[in-house]
Chains A and B, each alone.
Chain A
Amino acid sequence: MKKKLNKYFLPTLLFIFALTAAILFIMPTVLTITNSFMTEKEITANYGAMIESASADKKTYISEELNLKFIPDAVSIHQYLSVLFKSPDYLIKFWNSVILVVPITLFQVLLAAFTSYGFSRWQGRIREIIFFAYIILMLMPYQVTLVPNYLVSDYLGILGTRWAIILPGIFSPFSVFLLTKVMRRIPKAYFEAARLDGAGEWQIFWQICMPLSRSSMLSVGLLVFIDYWNMVEQPLILLSDEEQYPLSVFLSQINTGDVGLAFAVAVVYMIPALLLFLYGEEYLVEGITYSGGIKG
């Protein structure tokens, strides 16, 4: 009897727990999406209290309750129409995000592939020390790295321009760390065989190493993309012109002002990330798994 209980009861309990947690986890995302299909009037009726207290902020809560609603009374794409056609501001900020994040992701991964080849093809004491330094650098929080970034951008005269974010982003050591781990797993025999067949290092890199690590590069690219798509710290400090702020920073300002449109903008902002996630979940999992072996 006890055995049977254990066999069915425990897994069911576990499943219910896990299921509840999973539902709670996707709830904020789902709510954001469903709310984006409300009319602006319905949004203001439900969430108007948020703006009121945010602007007054005198602990006088004149307004009524906030009603978190799951399903809109009337489904409408009016919010989206306003975002797309009436207020170009959001689209400009979206574009700001794109031209910061895409070059960083692309070039960080490409440069990292190149560098990782150097770290994995030949090994030596000095290279090991440098690689270790890269790991330490990777583990430093923004609060440490932003001060050097600021100084050097100031010195190079790129402070306040997008380059102040893009250049340090490209040289950030995160992808080098992950791709070196991946490339070190490629059997040495592949390289030696190509070498014997007369291939140069450049050829070995492009024709053997790159194809073998293509999926890992996608995984690393995904992780880099999402990290920078989320950035808040760097633009606040390194950009001076608010016109250049990416949508991630700008969204915090409409939260208090333009609540009627905020949900639609939020959804537009998460679409690229969500699409990448749905398309590349396996790559993402692989990338995370690779990041796990910090020791070996």
Chain B
Amino acid sequence: MKKKNKKLLRTLGEWTWLTPSLIGVLVFFVIPFCVVIYYSVLDNPIFANFVWFENFGKLFKNSAFIRASRNTGIFTAAAVPLSVVLSLWLAFALNAKIPGKSWLRTCFLCPLMVPIASVVLVWQVIFHYHGTLNQITELFGAEAIDWLKTDWSYMVLTVMFLWKTLGYNMILFMSAIAGIPQDIIEVAELEGAGGWYKFVHIKLRYLSPTILFVTILSIISSFKMFREVYLLTGDYPYESMYLLQHFMNNTFNSLDYQKLSSAAVLLSLVMIILIGGLFLAERKFGEDVED
């Protein structure tokens, strides 16, 4: 009996370390998220009639929501792979024998620390209709383009996104490249493997967990691009820059709980499916590599 008490006490002791954080997470994230799920299947919070998936149906017919998710989707699908490939390339470049590596690394990391709000002025001057970029392209005889108010804004978003995220991803890849066992590459060289073979079948396989992680991280940061757009163009950007967060903000303003909750639930489902799918894909590709 006494022994049992002692064990119970010990278990309690172990759990006290987790309790404050658990309470906070439950109160601020988990419980309210359950409420959000509950709201998403009601017709309104006061009368509380179950309507099941009606709110989701309405959401799919909402043109603002469709445009917002379409824009966010297109941007993410274009910018994330680009970010992964470019940062991988940069990481290999900085791992090669070139001078001034630590200076270069500092330059690439710098955008990570500089607040977006601070450099947004420069972006504005560059991408303005009468701005620097148009002046440069006009030197080559090209037509001036209104970068922020046409579909070219996808490109502007991508440039700002790459500027912000490449440094972080590059560091992740550099440490992963340093972790590739050298002896395997030497064996492959002895057996006459070419550069391409070494890259695809050895290096990429060892890097695949990192590629997965960088992809997930980049997807998350791509959802944060609202900051840049908001600082650059305010509440009402050109329609191709109308992102999911704009939709959420506007819905918050009208306090439409049903729309908000069903959008949040839908988005969390999409994220879980996306991340789960990426995990499965990585497991398949990197399965012969033991950690």
A226 at the interface (CB under 8 A from B): yes
Complex: A269 Cα to B121 Cα, angstroms: 13
Q: Which residues of A contact B271 (CB under 8 A)?
A: 139-141, 144
The answer to whether B249 touches A237, judged by C-beta atoms less than 8 angstroms apart, is: yes
- Interface check A127, CB cutoff 8 A: yes
Confirm or deny: B194 has a beta carbon within 8 angstroms of a beta carbon on chain A. no
Q: How far is the CB of B92 from the nearest CB of chain A, in Å? A: 9
Measured CA separation A135–B221 after assembly (Å): 16
Interchain pairs with CB closer than 8 A, number: 278
Docked complex: B91-108 residues within 8 A CB-CB of A? 93-94, 96-100, 103-108
**Contact status A171-B93, CB under 8 Å:** no
Asked whether, in the complex, the Cβ of B245 is within 8 Å of the Cβ of A66, the reply is: no
Whole-angstrom distance between the alpha carbons of A145 and B114 in the complex? 25
Main secondary structure of the interface of A (DSSP, over half): helix
**Which of B32, B97, B109, B113 meets A149, CB within 8 Å?**
B32
A89: interface (CB < 8 Å): no
Q: Can you report 16 residue pairs joining A to B where beta carbons are below 8 Å apart?
A: A14-B96, A19-B100, A26-B107, A28-B163, A47-B125, A66-B130, A141-B267, A147-B260, A148-B29, A151-B35, A167-B28, A251-B118, A262-B121, A269-B118, A270-B114, A292-B176
Given A139-B271, A263-B121, A232 and B227 contact (CB-CB distance below 8 Å): yes
Closest CB of chain B to A203's CB: distance in Å? 13
- Residues on A facing B (Cβ under 8 Å): 11, 14-15, 17-19, 21-23, 25-29, 31-32, 35, 47, 49-50, 53, 61, 63-66, 68, 111-112, 114-115, 117-119, 121-122, 127, 130, 133-134, 136-137, 139-152, 155, 167-168, 170-171, 173, 176, 201, 226, 229-230, 232-233, 236-237, 247-249, 251-252, 255, 259, 262-263, 266-267, 269-270, 273-274, 276-277, 281, 284-285, 288-289, 291-296
Interchain CB contact (< 8 A) of A277 among B113, B125, B172, B232: B113
Find the B residue at minimum CB distance from A14.
B93
| CB atoms of B210 and A292 under 8 A apart | yes
Min distance, Cβ B276 to any Cβ of chain A, angstroms: 10
Are A269 and B261 neighbours in the complex by a CB distance under 8 Å?
A: no
Contact of A251 among B33, B117, B217 (CB under 8 A): B117
B20 near A111 with CB under 8 A, answer: yes
Residues on the B chain within 8 Å of A232, using CB? 116-117, 226-227, 230-231
